[in-house]
C-alpha cells in the first residue's frame, strides 16, 4: 500500500520540486539515509543548527572512548538506537548493527584499540571509515535520535505550511547542546491515523548510499597522497609519478574482506593527518552530491 505524506499534507501538485521534504510513503520504509556530510556542508539554518548538535554529541562520544569511560559510553548510546519515525532506512530492526545500547557498544568495541592514536578522529562521518559494516543505516539511525528535536521542529514547520494541525504529543529523548546530554522533551507531533508518529526529513540531507566511505578515503585521500609523494619532473618538465593508485592498492595485503579497514586504520595511526585531510576535502567532494528532485521522484514513486 502507498500513502505519501504529501497527500496527507494536502499538496495538490506531485513531485519533490513542490516541497522541501522527502515525500515518504508512511506505510513503508524507504531505503534512504541521513548523511552527516550533507548536513555539515550546507549553510542553511536547519543544517547549521543540526551540525552544532551532531558535532557536540560526537565530541562527547569520542571523549568517552578516549577515556575508556564505560559508564559514559553506555549513557551516550542508550538513546541512539533505531527509530522508525522517519520511514527511512531498512526499518524493523533489520540493520544488523544493534538496536540497543549493548548492541552499539559491541559494534564500536574496535574503536577502543586505536582511537587514542588518531586525534583527528572526531566526527560522525569518521565512523564508516574505521568500523567494519557500520555505515548508512546504523549512522542514520544514530543521527535521527541525536537530531530528534530538530526533525520534529522541521516536521511542525512543514505541517504549518499547509495548515495541517499536529494531532498528538510525544515525549522523547533528544541531544541537548546546552548541557551536552540527553534530555526528554514533550512536543506536539503528527501521528498517522493517530498511532504512528511521523518525522519529515529535509530532502537535501539524504542519499541512497554515502558518497564517502572507507574506499573513497583509501583511494582519494590516502593513496592519492602516497602516489603524489612519488612525483618527479621528467626531461620535458612535466610531472610524472613513479607509481599509480591501482598499483598501490594491488600491493595492500588482502587477508580478509575487511582489508580496507585494516589498512586505513594502520596508516592513520602512523600519520593521523590523513583524517585531517579527509575532513578538509569533504566540502569539495560533496558539492552537488545530494539527490536531485528527479532522482528522488524516481526512487520514491517507483512502486506507485
Model pLDDT, residue 79: 92
Q: Scan for cell 587514542, then name that residue.
A: 116
Q: Which residue has the cell 553506555?
A: 74
Taken in order 99, 102, 104, 110, is the CA torsion positive or negative?
Answer: negative
pLDDT at 108 over 70: yes
User: φ, ψ for residue 88 (rounded to 5)?
Assistant: -110, 160
- Please report the sign of the dihedral spanned by the C-alpha atoms of residue 260, residue 261, residue 263, residue 268: positive
Over pLDDT 90: what percentage of the chain?
88
- Residue 304 is predicted with a pLDDT of 67
- Report helix angle 45-66 to 70-77, nearest 10: 150
Q: Any idea where the domains of the chain sit in the sequence? A: 5-211, 213-285
| Residues ≥6 apart with Cβ < 8 Å to 20 | 158, 202, 203, 204
Q: Spell out the residues 6+ positions from residue 243 whose beta carbon is closer than 8 angstroms to its own.
A: 226, 227, 230
Confidence band, pLDDT 50/70/90 cuts, at residue 163? very high
Q: Give the least confident one: 33-47, 97-111, 139-153, 177-191.
A: 97-111
Query: The C-alpha cell of 117 is what?
Result: 592514536
Q: Are strands 181-192 and 196-198 parallel, antiparallel or unpaired?
A: antiparallel
How many angstroms separate the CA atoms of 290 and 205, rounded? 7
| ∠ CA 54-191-83, rounded to 5° | 35
H helices of 44-187, in order, are 45-66, 70-77, 101-107, 127-130, 136-146, 148-161
Cell triple for residue 160?
504549518
Q: What share of the chain is helix, strand, coil (3-state, %, to 5)?
A: 50, 15, 40
> 3-class DSSP state for residue 21?
strand
Distance CA 164, CA 243 (A): 61
Rounded distance, CA 236 to CA 107, Å?
53
Give the closest residue to 108 by CA, choosing from 81, 132, 143: 132
Question: Residue 269: pLDDT above 70?
Answer: yes
Chain CA centroid to CA 38, Å: 8
Distance CA 80, CA 60 (A): 13
For residue 243, the model assigns a pLDDT of 97
pLDDT at 99: 60
pLDDT higher than 50, residue 95:
no
Q: Give the global pTM.
A: 0.93
Mean pLDDT of the chain: 93
Amino acid at each position: 500500500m502507498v500513502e505519501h505524506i504529501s497527500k496527507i499534507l494536502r499538496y495538490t501538485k506531485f513531485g519533490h520540486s513542490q516541497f522541501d521534504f522527502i515525500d515518504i510513503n508512511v506505510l513503508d520504509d524507504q531505503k534512504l539515509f541521513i548523511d552527516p556530510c550533507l548536513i555539515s556542508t550546507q549553510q542553511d539554518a536547519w543544517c547549521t543548527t543540526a551540525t552544532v548538535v551532531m558535532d557536540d554529541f560526537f565530541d562527547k562520544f569520542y571523549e568517552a572512548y578516549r577515556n575508556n569511560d564505560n559508564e559514559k559510553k553506555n549513557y551516550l548510546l542508550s538513546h541512539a538506537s533505531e527509530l522508525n519515525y522517519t520511514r527511512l532506512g531498512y526499518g524493523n530492526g533489520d540493520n544488523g548493527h544493534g538496536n540497543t545500547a549493548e548492541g552499539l557498544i559491541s559494534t564500536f568495541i574496535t574503536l577502543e584499540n586505536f582511537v587514542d592514536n588518531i586525534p583527528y578522529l572526531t566526527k560522525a562521518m569518521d565512523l564508516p571509515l574505521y568500523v567494519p559494516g557500520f555505515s548508512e543505516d546504523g549512522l542514520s539511525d544514530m543521527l535521527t535520535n541525536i537530531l530528534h528535536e530538530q526533525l520534529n521542529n522541521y516536521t511542525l514547520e512543514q505541517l504549518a505550511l499547509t495548515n495541517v494541525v499536529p494531532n498528538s504529543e510525544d515525549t522523547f529523548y533528544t541531544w541537548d547542546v546546552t548541557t551536552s546530554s540527553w534530555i526528554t522533551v514533550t512536543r506536539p507531533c503528527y501521528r498517522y491515523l493517530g498511532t504512528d508518529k511521523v518525522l519529515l526529513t529535509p530532502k537535501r540531507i539524504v542519499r541512497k548510499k554515502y558518497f564517502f566511505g572507507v574506499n573513497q578515503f583509501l583511494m582519494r585521500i590516502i593513496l592519492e597522497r602516497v602516489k603524489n609523494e612519488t612525483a618527479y619532473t621528467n626531461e620535458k618538465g612535466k610531472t610524472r609519478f613513479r607509481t599509480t593508485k591501482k598499483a598501490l592498492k594491488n600491493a595492500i595485503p588482502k587477508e580478509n574482506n575487511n582489508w580496507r579497514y585494516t589498512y586505513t586504520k594502520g596508516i592513520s595511526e602512523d600519520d593521523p593527518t590523513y583524517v585531517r585531510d579527509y575532513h578538509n576535502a569533504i566540502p569539495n567532494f560533496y558539492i552537488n552530491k545530494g539527490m536531485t528532485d528527479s532522482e528522488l521522484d524516481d526512487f520514491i514513486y517507483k512502486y506507485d
